[in-house]
A and B are shown apart, each in its own frame.
Chain A
Amino acid sequence: MSTVISVIERLRSRIGLPAEPVHALVEAGHLKRFAEAIGDRDPRWVDEAPPTFLVALVPISMHLEEAEEYGKGWLNGGNRFEYFEPVRVGDRITATGKVADVYEKTGSSGSLLFIIFETEYVNQHGRRVAHLRGTAIRR
């Protein structure tokens, strides 16, 4: 039990602290492989990122390794994307993530640990292109 409490406390101590920004180039080949993998043949995605592409650009769940001390597996609870500008091939994106909240819920089937994380995406012109909020669950 003390391990569980310390995992939650350690994760909670990070709430709101921005992680080291990650830089990534939007590459034509990656976009093509992503569109093929989701089975979306719209020719628009040759040059432009489809709605969920940003999750493939940089790892979205930072700092989560230590959460694996809790429970036995991960679940994805949900994702929320806000879009401000299109993302296109050749864009250099800077992604900055943070843990927005950490809490435990106990239900009929046991305890779950919820980790809410947020990522802000800015392009090479310093313009905010998107914001992602995700819920990762340990069960």
Chain B
Amino acid sequence: MNVAVGEEIPELVKNPTTRQLVQYAGAQGDFYEIHYDQDFARSVGLPGVILHGLLKAAFLGQLVTDWLGDRGTLKMFEVSYRGIDVPGKPYRCRGRVTKVNGGDVELEVWGEDQDGNRTTIGTANVELS
């Protein structure tokens, strides 16, 4: 597998819905109301219900594992949440290779809202087999 610094990995576009937020709340067991109760979300100063940070992390995790397939192993994955995202809008996951050292590859990954703001940024380290 040839991997070069600067290479972009295939993007993944997600279209989260309020239904998916409820599904995710149940699957993770995170029942914080800002993810499914519009009135509650507004009462704490949000525009409405927002995506779980960890759902966005899961999207970025898929971006990496879709690209990696069975060619290696994910060793480290970290994300920082910089902004909120709301359901009903596309969420675009992107990434590129930032370091290659033998079989060790570092990727920069990020999630963009509709306006191109990087609302989640992260790093993944993979070991190619």
- Which residues in chain B, 23-75, are within 8 Å of chain A measured between CB atoms? 23-24, 26-29, 32, 34, 44-45, 52-55, 57-59, 61-62, 64-66, 73-75
Q: How many residues of A contact B (CB 8 A)?
A: 28
List chain A residues, Cβ under 8 A from B62.
Answer: 38-40, 42, 50
Q: How far is the CA of A81 from the CA of B74 in the complex (A)?
A: 10
Once A34-B28, A37-B20, A50-B65 are accepted as A-B contacts, the answer to whether A79 and B59 lie under 8 Å apart by CB is no
Contact B23–A78 (Cβ < 8 Å): no
Q: How many residues of B contact A (CB 8 A)?
A: 33
List chain A residues, Cβ under 8 A from B1.
Answer: none
Contact B44–A79 (Cβ < 8 Å): no
Contact B29–A59 (Cβ < 8 Å): yes
- Which residues in chain A, 16-58, are within 8 Å of chain B measured between CB atoms? 30, 33-34, 36-40, 42, 44, 50-52, 55-56
Contact A83–B76 (Cβ < 8 Å): yes
List chain B residues, Cβ under 8 A from A104.
Answer: none
Tell me which of B27, B28, B55, B73 contacts A83 (CB under 8 A): B73
Contact A50–B58 (Cβ < 8 Å): yes
Residue A82, interface by CB 8 Å: yes
List chain B residues, Cβ under 8 A from A81.
Answer: 76-78
List chain B residues, Cβ under 8 A from A72.
Answer: 44-45
List chain A residues, Cβ under 8 A from B32.
Answer: 74
Q: How far is the CA of A30 from the CA of B44 in the complex (A)?
A: 31
A selection of 14 A-B contacts at a CB cut-off of 8 Å is: A33-B27, A34-B28, A36-B23, A36-B27, A38-B27, A38-B55, A39-B14, A44-B65, A51-B57, A56-B27, A73-B45, A81-B76, A82-B76, A83-B75
Which A residues are within 8 Å of any B CB, using their own CB?
A: 30, 33-34, 36-40, 42, 44, 50-52, 55-56, 59, 72-83
Which B residues are within 8 Å of any A CB, using their own CB?
A: 14, 20, 23-24, 26-29, 32, 34, 44-45, 52-55, 57-59, 61-62, 64-66, 73-81
